[in-house]
Amino acid sequence: MLISSSYSLISTFNSWLSSGNILLNILALIAYGIFISIILSVYDYLFGWAERKIIAKVQLRHGPTYVGKFGILQNLADVIKLLAKEHIVPDTADKFLYAIGLPAMMAISVLLVLVLPFSPYLQATNLALGLLFVLVLLSFMPLFIFVSAYSTGNKFADISAQRSVLMMLSYELPMLIVLASVALLSKSFNIAGIISAQSTGWFVWLMPIGFIVFFVAMLAELERPPFDFLEADSELIAGWLTDYSAPYYALSLFLDYTRMLFGSLIMAILFFGGWSGPFLPPIIWLLIKAVIISLFIIIIRTTLVRMRIDRMLKFGWVWMLPLSLVNLIITYMVFIH
C-alpha cells in the first residue's frame, strides 16, 4: 500500500516536472529536496550512532547507552550541546574564508544529488555526462579543505592543507582512470546508462582490480582510515578542523557522514548495479547496497593503522596508478576489442 501510494506520488511529481509549468516544476523540486534531506538526515544520524556502536563492539566496549534506547539519542544530545556552545573564531583566521569553507563543502556534497539517481523515477536531472559532473564535484573537495585549513591560520591546519594537496595528487588520477574504464565498459557517461549496462553483470565482477583501486581512492577521498592524514588525531590534533568549534564542528561531523553516503552511493552505482535487484523497490536496493559499503568502510576504520603521507604518495603512483591502467587495458582488450 505504502509502496504503491509512494509510486503514485512520484509519478505525480514527475508529471509536474515534465508539464512545463514553472510553478509546478519548482514545487516538484522542493518536494524532491525535502525527500533528499530526509534521507540524508536519517542516514547521517543513524550512521553517526552505528559507527560509535560498531567501533565500541570491536573494541570490547559498550558505546553510548544512557540517552535513549541503546544510546540512540546520544548523537542528538551531542549536536544540541555543540549548537549551544560558544562559536569561537580565531584571531588569526581569514574571517570570510573561515565562514564559507565548511558550508561550501556541504553544498558541494549535496550537489551530487543532482546527478545521483535514487531510482529510475527519482532523480533531479538526467545529464548525458553525469559521470563527469560527479568527478568535477569530487575534485572540488580537496580544494575547499585546503581553503578552510589555510583560513584558520593554525599551523596544524597548515600542515593538513599541504597534505591535502599531496593526497589529491596521489589518488585523483587513478580514480579518474577507473571512472574512464567504467565509462568505456558501459559505453555511456550517463548514470542511468551505466546502471542499465550492468543488467548482465555487475562491474565489480568484470573489473575487480578497478573496483579495489576505486575503493582505496574513495577511502582517501572520504578521509577515512587508513588515509585520514588530514584529520590525523594523534598527529595533527584535528588537522584542518582544529580551530573549528561548536556549530561548525557539528557541521563537519554532518559533512563527514554525508560524504560517506555519497561515496557509498557512487560505488554502489558504478560497481554494484545501482538500483537493480529483485522484489524490493529500486530505492531500497540502492540504499541497502550503499549501507553495506558504508559499514565496510567503518569496519576498516577499527582495524587499520594510519599510513604516512609520503608513503601514500608512493602508494598512489607505484601501485594504484599502474593498476588502474592495467584495469583500463584489460577492460579494453577483453570486453571492447
Partner 1 sequence: MHLMRVVIDVPVRINVGPIHPSTHGVLRLVVDVEGDKIENMEAHIGFLHRGVEKLLENRMYMQACPHMEKLDYFAPMSYDELYVAAVEQAYGIELKEKAMYVRTILLELQRIASHLASIGFLCNDIGQLFTAFMWSFKDRDMVLKLLEAATGTRMFYVNMRIGGLVRDLPPGFEDSAIELLDYLSKRIPAYEKYLEKNPVFMERNKGIGVISRDEAKNLGITGPVLRGSGVSYDIRKNKPYYVYEKLNFRIQVRNEGDNFARYKVRMLELRESIRIVREALKKMPPEGSAVGMPIRLIGPPVKNKITITERELPRGECMIYLVADPQRPYRAYIRSANFINLSAIEEMCKGQRFADIFSIIGGLDMVMADVDK
Q: Is 62 in the site for partner 1 (CB under 8 A)?
A: no
Among 162, 196, 245, 276, binds partner 1 (CB under 8 A): 162
State how far the Cα of 158 lies from the Cα of 102, in Å rounded to an integer.
Answer: 16
Note if the bond before 226 is cis, omega within 30 degrees: yes
Among 159, 180, 213, 260, binds partner 1 (CB under 8 A): 159
SS3 119: strand
Q: Is 235 in the site for partner 1 (CB under 8 A)?
A: yes
Q: Is 230 in the site for partner 1 (CB under 8 A)?
A: no
Q: What is the DSSP string of 258-280?
A: HHHHHHHHHHHHHHS-TT--SSS
Cβ-based nearer residue to partner 1, 168 or 179: 168
SS3 122: strand
Q: Is 61 in the site for partner 1 (CB under 8 A)?
A: yes
State how far the Cα of 297 lies from the Cα of 68, in Å rounded to an integer.
Answer: 26
Region of 53-61, 66-74, 183-191, 194-202 interacting with partner 1 (CB under 8 A): 53-61
Q: Is 319 in the site for partner 1 (CB under 8 A)?
A: no
Note if the bond before 174 is cis, omega within 30 degrees: no
Q: Is 8 in the site for partner 1 (CB under 8 A)?
A: no
Q: What is the Cα gyration radius of the chain?
A: 21
Among 1, 4, 234, 337, binds partner 1 (CB under 8 A): 234
Which cell numbers hold the place of 334? Answer: 577483453
Cβ-based nearer residue to partner 1, 63 or 68: 63
Among 24, 72, 173, 307, binds partner 1 (CB under 8 A): 307
Q: Tally the residues of the chain.
A: 337
Q: Which residue has the cell 553495506?
A: 292
Least Å distance, CB 280 to partner 1, is 34
Q: Is 311 in the site for partner 1 (CB under 8 A)?
A: yes
Cβ–Cβ < 8 Å for 228, 306: yes
Compute how many other C-beta atoms are within 10 angstroms of the C-beta atom of residue 278: 5
Count of positions on this chain that bind partner 1 (CB under 8 A): 36
x/- site string to partner 1, residues 94 to 133, per CB under 8 A?
x---------------------------------------
Which cell numbers hold the place of 153? Answer: 591560520
Interacting residue ranges for partner 1, rule: CB under 8 A: 55, 58-61, 92, 94, 150-151, 153, 155-156, 158-159, 162-163, 225-226, 228-229, 232-235, 237, 301-311
